[in-house]
Amino acid sequence: MAKRVTGPEIEKLIQLLAKVPGLGPRSARRAALHLIKKKDQLLGPLGSAMGEAYDKVKVCSRCGNVDTIDPCTVCTDDRRDQSVIIVVEDVSDLWALERAGVMNAAYHVLGGTLSPLDGVGPDDLNIKGLIDRVSEGGIKEIIIAVNATVEGQTTAHYITDRLADLGVAITRLAHGVPVGGELDYLDEGTLSAALRARTAI
């Protein structure tokens, strides 16, 4: 803004809101005004929730999930089959797979993918932690659920190699046509994978 039209505290709130993914400078102003209008229902509680999350949040030392306890809610859940570990790149992938609600397994968050160009090597990811978990025994299957990108697949290959001698079943997500997807909009790689992995009706 050319001239100051409001207090520095509110300007600062807008500036910080603009850094939240999904909000830009313009929507940050709209969000700030909405928060201020809903002062007691939203601004106060959200500020407190952020403060509490800031104080309590920790990364699970076992699987890399984000939680307020360590080991996390997933790792300490007795109703899960802790002998199956789904390996994901990011916490957001863990949460996405849980929304699908298909598996009742444990997880392992790598924290990214191997990317030599960006200087990300095996030691920068939480791969040693995965090997330690498998070496401790009691693990039957590792499901590698990294993204179907070049970096993701490179990482999957690396992990498969490292786990090869530990006597654990290693699987990966199926490639194919997304549910609801139109063939015309899919790339050749996806279509050929879906054809090769065709199933009997």
- x/- mask, its own copies, residues 53-92, rule CB under 8 A, reads xx-xx-------xxxxx--xxx--x------------xxx
With beta carbons less than 8 A apart as the criterion, state whether 110 and 64 touch.
Answer: yes
Least gap, CB of 179 to its own copies (angstroms): 17
Q: Are 65 and 50 in contact (CB under 8 A)?
A: no
For residues 156 and 65, give the distance between their C-alpha atoms in angstroms, rounded to a whole number: 19
Tell me if residue 163 falls in helix, strand or coil.
helix
- Which of 86, 95, 116, 141: binder of its own copies (CB under 8 A)? 95
Beta carbon of residue 151, minimum distance to its own copies (angstroms, whole number):
19
Please list, in sequence order, all residues whose beta carbon lies within 8 angstroms of the beta carbon of residue 162, skipping any fewer than 6 positions away. 127, 131
Tell the residue number behind the tokens 């090769």, with chain if given.
196
Angle at alpha carbon of residue 187, lines to 142 and 159, rounded to 5° = 20
Our finding on whether 5 is near its own copies (CB under 8 A) is yes
Shortest Cβ distance from residue 26 to its own copies (Å)?
9
Q: Interface with its own copies by CB under 8 A: which residues?
A: 1-10, 12-13, 16-17, 19-23, 27, 29-36, 38-39, 42-54, 56-57, 65-69, 72-74, 77, 90-92, 94-95, 98-99, 101
